[in-house]
Structure 1
Amino acid sequence: MNALTRPAAPLAGAAFDHPEFDAHEQVVFAHDRDTGLMAILCVHDTRLGPALGGCRVWPYASAADALTDALRLSRGMTYKNALAGLDLGGGKAVIIADPRKDKTADLMRAFGHHVERMNGSYITAEDVGVSPADMEAVAERTDHVRGTARTGLGDPSPYTALGVFVGIRAALAHVYGSDTLAGRTVSVQGLGHVGFDLASQLHAAGAKLIVSDIHAPAVDRAVAAFGAIAVDPGEAHAVEADVFAPCALGAGLNATTIPAIRARIVAGAANNQLATPADGEALKARGILYAPDYAINAGGVISIALARPGGDDALVREKTLAIAATLTRIFERARAEDVTPERIADRMAEERLAAAGR
């Protein structure tokens, strides 16, 4: 039974008791009988404005796993948008499907129909398993979509990659006193749109690359283009490197992986990298600098929030490059207060949310 035909568990009532439920304003379970769409759309917080966050297509093992991801990711978007200085709340959507086998234009149009039914409380965009063409299909059914040719700059992934690139340099400067990448080794885990673009920028700046992905052709392409060393994705965190850059799915920093990390810095594009709050403390105890994911990977949401039709990306690039300065403030304050960087990032975001709620 594939992801599209698997019956969804009766989760709506359980959402309020879910450990990842955090005063979410809306949790919508959406189904379309013609296409088999099964989606969960979450709005976490709209104190700063309508909830903006991408749509992820993934073959979750269960509807419960999909709900966990949607709740976690939507909360992360609230903090990401707040810390990036955007007048937007946080939301996220997940579609239970294999993006390589089950995804169709009709499926994405059906998803767009359900976004439209939320009447603007949620604005969708591209995420894992979703392409710019998919967003164009969504836009046929709703205006509450970003990252399309009509709404501005199209694919947001180059800006996500740019933000992570300058964020890695800020982390290097904090740890080593220099932001140069020449001679540094970076392990990039995940070679999707963002990961591959990041690898390209790192290579151009002189970094040595170790790469991994569950999709073998992406690895082969990176090895050929950058002279990278390929490893199994499950070993990417444990290789000897200056920087470990997780750019795949979340919760990869956990009680199993953290003791094996050999890099001094963890800085990548993946969302919700820490499996639990205790894992951030574990990184700090090992002397590993962690760049809070929603701070370093905000370039994509900046691009879809601030883009304007016509292709002028000057403002977007300016705000994306400023991610380096934001991270530097986080790192310095965390060191001064002897706490983890993610705690400082949370405080900075919560201060802005509290001010908006007054």
Structure 2
Amino acid sequence: MSLKSFEEGSVFNQLSKSSHQNVVFCSDEDTGLKAIIAIHDTTLGPALGGTRMWTYSTEADALSDVLRLSRTMTYKAAISGLNLGGGNAVIIGDSSTDKTEALMRRFGRFIKNLNGTFITAEDLGTNTKDMEYIRMETQYVTGVPETLGGSGDPSPIAAKGVLMGIKACIKEHFGNDSLVGRSIAVQGIGQVGENLVHLLREEHAKVYVSDINEDRLMRVAAKYGAQAVSNNNLLDFEFDVYAPCAMGGTVNSQTIPKMKCAIIAGSANNQLADEDVHGRMLLEKGILYAPDYLINAGGMINCYSELSGYSRKRTMQLAENIYSATRNVLQKSASDHIPAIRAADIIAEKRIADIKKIKGSY
């Protein structure tokens, strides 16, 4: 490998291009722990972000993921009006075989050493039991079971926020926010996706579901009266709304030309493979896009409520605010003729800049 190609793929090269406040590499031979914690910005408050456990192909891929996720959390908190910063963590490994109590507790001690600048919660590959293990070592964790004074599973609140984003998009595109008879494709029916299907069916929407797990797909379709569709054939159908709720990057140069939907609004993180390129492609094609970090903020809202004294009623009210925030973003996108993701960024960046000015005047 040439020196040039090594530098292009190195972790140091990635870090030099980021604007993160702190990146911590965690390694423990006894438990097999290999993790990265990234703190992007703490202007608005301590960095909050999930811990994801995934079998990354390379450590550079893991770093790339955690840097992007943590930045997204900064913007998510800012646009949602929360007094939190953005961070995230990834553990390299297979959550079904490599995860142990000892590993999670050792990871908790790394979080403890950050002295409250980073607070974690569950993410892909982790759950409330894992948060319970982390809580044994540090107080800087949310999403713990209700029996320990936490708020438990945040997915119902996350799904509620996505529903509000979908309704806001429907309102902007069709003139009213009724979902009766609207066709919505939910791609990925994990915890958030299944909760979203439930909420959509309660609103009498016509729901199509797709998932790589065939057993789960058929179970959810039967349970809620949804229509199962193969992942490979999903884009062959015409829908009012495409709701990606699994992995990111499904909105890209290959899929956008095939899309026959009016709206994209789902819970998956980083849905646009390239925010600038694909945000502009959606704008030019006339597809409304609800920025993922805005409408999937329900999970973060749930954790924020837990930190400040959990009230389910108050948490639901905060999640419902996603409706008006989404409409503000879509209206700015239309008036300025800029991609919705850029409109959301501008609103989030303004709040952070304003708070920095206030803090600078102290």
CA shift at 1:231, angstroms? 2.5
What's the offset of the Cα at 1:204? 1.5
Tell me if the contact between 1:152 and 1:310 (Cα under 8 Å) persists in the aligned partners.
no
CA distance in 1, matches of 2:311, 2:165: 23
Q: CA deviation at 1:164?
A: 0.2
Aligned to 2:41: 45
Contact 1:165 1:201 in 2 (8 A): yes
1:319 aligns with 2:312: no
Q: Does 1:261 align with 2:268?
A: no
Decide whether aligned partners of structure 1 residues 21 and 270 sit closer, same or farther in structure 2, where only a CA change above 3 A counts: farther
Q: Distance in 2 between matches of 1:288 and 1:312?
A: 36
Task: Answer with 244-253 or 95-104: which moved more.
Answer: 95-104
Match of 1:6 in 2: none
- Once residues 200 and 105 of structure 1 are traced to their aligned partners in structure 2, the CA distance between those partners, rounded to angstroms, is 33
Aligned length: 348
* Deviation, structure 1 residue 180: 1.3
Aligned partner of 1:54 in structure 2 is: 50
Structure 1 window deviating more from structure 2 (145-154 vs 314-323): it is 145-154
Q: Contact (CA 8 Å) 1:20, 1:72: kept in 2 or not?
A: no
Distance 2:320 2:298 in 1: 8
Aligned AA for 2:352? L
Distance 1:267 1:186 in 2: 10
User: Residue 37 and residue 216 in structure 1: after superposition, are their counterparts in 2 closer, same or farther (change >3 A)?
Assistant: farther
Asked if 1 retains the 8 angstrom alpha-carbon contact of 2:211 and 2:231, the reply is yes
Q: In 2 relative to 1, CA 91–280 (structure 1 residues): closer, same or farther, beyond 3 Å?
A: same
Over 3 Å counting, the alpha-carbon distance change for 1:330 and 1:145 in structure 2 is same
* Deviating more after overlay: 15-24 vs 115-124: 15-24
- Aligned twin of 2:195: 197
1:118 is aligned, of 92, 99, 114, to 114
Counterpart Cα distance in 2 of 1:170 and 1:160: 16
1:131 is matched with which residue? 127
Contact 2:305 2:311 in 1 (8 A): no
Which residue of structure 2 aligns with residue 7 of structure 1? none
In the alignment, residue 89 of structure 1 is paired with which amino acid? G
Shift of 1:232: 2.9
Aligned to 1:95: 91
Q: Indicate if the aligned counterparts of 2:11 and 2:60 stay in contact, CA closer than 8 A.
A: no
Shift of 1:310: 7.6
For residues 342 and 210 of structure 2, what CA distance do their matches in structure 1 show?
29
Question: 1:5 is matched with which residue?
Answer: none
Residues 349 and 210 of structure 1: CA distance in aligned 2, closer, same or farther (over 3 Å): same
| 2: CA distance, partners of 1:154 / 1:190 | 22
Structure 1 unaligned segments of length 5 or more: list them: 1-9
For residue 356 of structure 1, what is the aligned residue in structure 2? 355
Stretches of structure 2 that go unaligned for 5 or more consecutive residues are 1-5, 358-362
SS at match of 1:40: strand
Partner of 1:86: 82
Distance 1:85 1:310 in 2: 17
1:16, distance to aligned residue in structure 2 (A): 4.3
Residue number in structure 2 paired with 1:294: 293
Distance, in Å, in 1 between the alignment partners of 2:278 and 2:315 is 32
1:236 shift after superposition: 3.2
How do residues 152-301 of structure 1 correspond to structure 2 at under 5 angstroms?
A: 152-276=150-274, 277-301=276-300
Letter in 2 for 1:25: Q
Structure ranking higher in helix proportion = 2
Relative to structure 1, the CA distance from residue 32 to residue 209 in structure 2 (aligned partners, 3 Å threshold; closer, same or farther) is: same
Deviates further, 117-126 or 307-316: 307-316
Paired with 2:16 and 2:162, the residues of 1 have a C-alpha distance of 26
* 2:64 partner amino acid: T
Question: Cα 1:295–1:309, aligned 2, differ >3 Å: closer, same or farther?
Answer: closer
Cα contact 1:151–1:309 (8 A) shared by 2? no
User: Aligned AA for 1:55?
Assistant: T
What residue number does 1:341 align with? Answer: 340
Identity of aligned residues (%): 45
- Residues in 2 aligned to 1:151 and 1:42: alpha-carbon distance in whole angstroms: 27
| 1:314 CA displacement | 1.6
- Flag the 1:14–1:121 CA change in 2: closer, same or farther, 3 A: farther
Q: Quickly say closer, same or farther: Cα 1:20–1:246, change in 2 above 3 A.
A: farther
Alignment partner of 1:119: what SS?
Answer: coil
2:3 is matched with: none
Counterpart Cα distance in 2 of 1:54 and 1:304: 10
Question: Shift of residue 304 of structure 1?
Answer: 0.5
CA drift of 1:308 comes to: 5.9
How far apart are 1:118 and its partner, in Å? Answer: 1.6
Q: What is the deviation of 1:14?
A: 3.5
Opposite residue 226 of structure 1, the aligned amino acid is Y
